[in-house]
Amino acid sequence: MNPICELFGIRYPIVQGGMVWCSGWRLAAAVSNAGGLGLLGAGSMHPDTLREHLRKLKSATSAPFGVNLPLMYPQMEELLQILVEEEVKIVFTSAGSPKKWTEWLHSHGMKVAHVVSSSTFARKATEAGVDAVVAEGFEAGGHNGREETTTLCLVPAVRKATHLPLLAAGGIATGAAWYATQALGADGVQIGSRFALTQESSAAEAFKMRCLQLAEGDTRLLLKRLSPTRLVANAFRTQVEEAEERGASVEELRELLGRGRAKKGIFEGNLDEGELEIGQAAALLQGRPIEPVAEVMAELLEEYRHTARQMADNIL
Ligand SMILES: Cc1cc2nc3c(=O)[nH]c(=O)nc-3n(C[C@H](O)[C@H](O)[C@H](O)COP(=O)(O)O)c2cc1C
């Protein structure tokens, strides 16, 4: 049996990555109901909001689901208490060291996967006792590793660094890409951008439409000294680029970013002033409509199977 399916009790080794302002209960339920693993993105939720989404999610699916917990979250202890009270069974941690909380999460009956951007971090996560690792490459949407290692180079390196079940992430929007990462040693995939642009995502329609019009090269990894983030070209990004070119200090960049930029861009659909986060894979979706999750999942599976058959026919 596939190690990711076995670990999480799911049908297909497809995880919908936790995404600020996109992955509420509707998106997570749709992915879990289609046989993948849906994750709530706690990174943009107040503790009360997380509890509300967990309750709605539990009434919308009987399939396994999880929560993404960025480890630099300010009200960590409050969130952890809610995970216990709401009997969450799967947690995907990111953006921080898994050393501090993994044992605690295990002691409360939760399985833990941790997102890494290098084989060094994969080794540390393995030592910390996590149950699975997500290797997220440079192409990915959201915050990213400083090393800029692409998925094609990262997945085989992480495969060598850990024996744990491994999910590939970054640039995966098709069944063919899923298949390719499996050839590199991954057991499954974590997909963000493609699901951020579905009907069930809580992102603003204007954000989804803008992202579905992007071409190659329309996203760039910026804010590297603050927290590397892949940004879509807009007025805000131009300000960031200008500031970085003139060597602005970290404090200046922090001030420019201000508070609530990602909410403004992704959730409120302010395409000029907001921070628009999406991965390179958006360009592969150019011109497509905003699709329901069930169609995306069916297409991923069909493409995966088609690719597998094609590859079998092409053995040299
Ligand atoms: C809009 C957006 C928000 C994201 N927010 C988070 C987050 O809160 N926590 C996290 O661990 N990863 C976050 N990510 C990364 C995804 O979980 C996922 O690993 C990544 O999108 C995979 O690459 P892809 O976008 O090429 O599919 C975000 C990605 C996007 C596109």
Find the domain containing 230 and state its range: 205-282
Q: Whose CA is nearest to atom 5 of ligand 1?
A: 19
Nearest ligand 1 atom, CA 134: 19
Q: Does the C-beta of 137 come closer than 6 Å to ligand 1?
A: no
175 backbone φψ class: left, alpha, beta (φ>0; ψ -120 to 50)? alpha
Per-residue pLDDT at 234: 97
Domain closes at, from 141, 175, 203 = 203
Q: Which of 171 and 73 is assigned the larger pLDDT?
A: 171
Which residue, 203, 231, 250, sits at the end of a domain?
203
Domain assignment present for 311: no
Residue 49 inside a domain? The answer is: yes
Provide the 8-state DSSP code for 108. T
Q: Contact at 8 Å (CB) between 15 and 165?
A: no
Within 10 A of 55 (CB to CB), how many other CB atoms are there? Answer: 12
Q: Is 80 in the pocket of ligand 1 (CB under 6 A)?
A: no
Nearest to 37 by CA among 70, 9, 1, 3: 9
With pLDDT > 70 as the criterion, what percentage of the chain qualifies? 100
Q: pLDDT tens for residues 253-312? A: 999 998 899 999 999 999 999 999 999 999 999 999 999 999 999 999 999 999 999 999
216-221: which pairs have CB atoms within 8 A and are 24 or more residues apart? Answer: 216/280, 216/283, 217/283, 218/282, 218/283, 219/141, 219/278, 219/279, 219/280, 219/282, 219/283, 221/138, 221/144, 221/148
Query: For residue 78, is it within any domain?
Result: yes
What pLDDT, on a 0 to 100 scale, did the predictor assign at position 209?
Answer: 98
Clarify whether residues 36 and 160 are in a common domain: yes
- Asked if residue 1 is part of any domain, the answer here is no
What are 17-27's pLDDT values in tens digits? 999 999 999 99
Same domain, 149 and 257: no
With a 6 A CB cut-off, is 139 part of the ligand 1 pocket?
A: yes
The response to whether residue 116 sits with its C-beta less than 6 Å from ligand 1 reads no
Q: Are residues 142 and 269 in the same domain?
A: no
CA of 279 to the centre of ligand 1 (A): 8
Residues 26 and 93 in one domain: yes
Residue 24 belongs to domain with CATH number: 3.20.20.70
Question: From the CB of residue 265, how many other CB atoms can be counted at a distance below 10 Å?
Answer: 29
Ligand 1 neighbourhood includes 20 CB (under 6 angstroms): yes
Q: Are residues 24 and 153 in the same domain?
A: yes
Q: Report the interhelical angle of 293-313 vs 175-183 (nearest 10°).
A: 50
Residues 148 and 261 in one domain: no
Number of domains in the chain: 2
- Is the pLDDT reported for residue 315 higher than 90? no
Q: Report pTM.
A: 0.98
Same domain, yes or no, for 44 and 104?
A: yes
Task: Clarify whether residues 133 and 228 are in a common domain.
Answer: no
Residue 314 pLDDT class (50, 70, 90 cuts): confident
- CA 57 – ligand 1 centroid, Å: 20
SS3 79: helix
The answer to the question of residue 73 being in a domain is: yes
- Per-residue tokens: 263: 């909410």
In this structure, the number of other CB atoms found within 10 A of the CB of residue 188 comes to: 28
Q: Are residues 129 and 161 in the same domain?
A: yes
- For residue 95, being part of any structural domain is answered with yes
Is the CB of residue 168 below 6 angstroms from any atom belonging to ligand 1?
no
Do 175 and 231 lie in one domain? The reply is no
Contact 163, 131 (CB under 8 A): no
Same-domain check for residues 130 and 61 = yes
Query: What dihedral do alpha carbons 6, 11, 14, 19 form, nearest 10°?
Result: -90
Phi, psi at 38, each rounded to 5°:
-85, 140
Helix-strand-coil split of the chain, %, nearest 5? 45, 15, 40
Do the domain assignments include residue 4?
A: no
Among 203, 231, 246, the domain-final residue is: 203
Q: Are residues 118 and 173 in the same domain?
A: yes
Instruction: Answer yes or no: is the C-beta of 275 below 6 A from any ligand 1 atom.
Output: no
Q: Within a domain: residue 293?
A: no
Residue 56 is encoded by which pair of tokens? 């709605």
